[in-house]
Amino acid sequence: MTTPGIVEAAILAVSIINVILMVWLGLTVLFNAERPRWGVWLTSGALLAGGAFFLAQAVVVERGLGSVSAAMYLQWPMGWFIGMVLPLAWYATMLWYAGFWQNREAPLHKRHRNWLAITVVLAAVVLVLALMAASYPVSWTIERFEPFARPAIGGVPILAVAYPAFIFLCIVLSLDVLRRPAPSQRLMGDLARRRARPWLMATSMGLLLVSCLVGVIMIAIAFGHPTLPARTWPSGIPLAVVWGDLIVSLLVAMSIVSLGQAIVAYEIFTGKTLPRHGLRRHWDYTVILAAGYGAVMGWSVAIESAPFYGLLLAALLIASLYALFNWRSYIERDRYIHHLRPFVASPRVYDALLQPGAPELDAAGPFRALCAEVLGSRLAYLVAVGPLSSLAGPPLAHPQTASAPNDLSKIITQCDSPETMCFPADPAIYAGATWAVPLWSERGLIGVLLLGEKADGGLYTQEEMEIARASGERLIDTLACARMAQRLMAMQRERLAQSQVVDRRARRVLHDEVLPELHAAMLAVREEQDNAGSGIVDRLADVHHQLSDLLRQMSPSAGSEIVQLGLMGALRRVLEDELAEAFDEVTWELDPRAEEKVQALPVLTAEVLFYAAREAIRNASRHGRGDDTARLLRLKVTVALRDGLEMIIEDDGVGFSAVQRDSATGQGMALHSTMMAVIGGGWVTDSLPGSFTRVTLSLPENGWQHPTQ
441 with 564, same domain: the answer is no
143 with 216, same domain: the answer is yes
**Segment among 477-491, 575-589, 590-604 with least mean pLDDT:** 477-491
The pLDDT assigned to 421 comes to 80
- 535 in any annotated domain: yes
Secondary structure of 13-54 in HEC code, one letter for each residue: HHHHHHHHHHHHHHHHHHHHCCCCCHHHHHHHHHHHHHHHHH
364 with 444, same domain: the answer is yes
Boundaries of domain holding 617: 559-705
Percentage of the chain beyond pLDDT 90 is 6
424 with 293, same domain: the answer is no
Region 418-434: mean pLDDT is 85
What CA–CA distance (Å, rounded) separates 115 from 95? Answer: 11
Q: Which residues neighbour 397 within 8 Å (Cβ) at sequence distance 6 or greater?
A: 379, 380, 381, 382, 403, 404
Ramachandran region, residue 708 (left: φ > 0; alpha: ψ -120 to 50; beta: rest): beta
535 with 593, same domain: the answer is no
579 with 672, same domain: the answer is yes
- 465 in any annotated domain: yes
Instruction: Give tens-digit pLDDT for 111-120.
Output: 888 898 888 8
426 with 468, same domain: the answer is yes
- The DSSP bridge partners found for residue 636 are 587, 650
417 with 522, same domain: the answer is no
Confidence at 709, pLDDT banded by 50, 70, 90 = very low
573 with 666, same domain: the answer is yes
Q: Which residue has the higher pLDDT, 662 or 212?
A: 212
- 643 in any annotated domain: yes
- 345 in any annotated domain: no
Which of 535, 553, 571 is the C-terminal boundary of a domain?
553
260 with 380, same domain: the answer is no
User: Which CATH number is 692's domain given?
Assistant: 3.30.565.10
Question: Going by DSSP bridges, is the β-strand pair 396-398/380-384 parallel, antiparallel, or unpaired?
Answer: antiparallel
Which of 553, 586, 601 is the C-terminal boundary of a domain?
553
DSSP, res 377 = B
Instruction: Give tens-digit pLDDT for 77-121.
Output: 555 666 677 788 888 888 888 888 777 778 888 888 889 888 888
**261 burial level (CB within 10 Å; 0-12, 13-18, 19+):** buried
45 with 151, same domain: the answer is yes
- Domains contained in the chain, number: 4
Region 332-360: mean pLDDT is 62
Q: Are 411 and 448 in contact (CB under 8 A)?
A: yes
* Segment (H or E) for 315: helix 307-344
Name the E strands within 506-618.
585-590
363 with 446, same domain: the answer is yes
- 39 in any annotated domain: yes
Confidence at 537, pLDDT banded by 50, 70, 90 = low
User: Which CATH number is 472's domain given?
Assistant: 3.30.450.40
Determine the length of the chain: 709
- 292 in any annotated domain: yes
The answer, as to whether pTM is greater than 0.75, is no
Region 133-157: mean pLDDT is 56
What CA–CA distance (Å, rounded) separates 668 from 648? Answer: 17
Which of 295, 329, 363 is the C-terminal boundary of a domain?
329
Confidence at 531, pLDDT banded by 50, 70, 90 = low
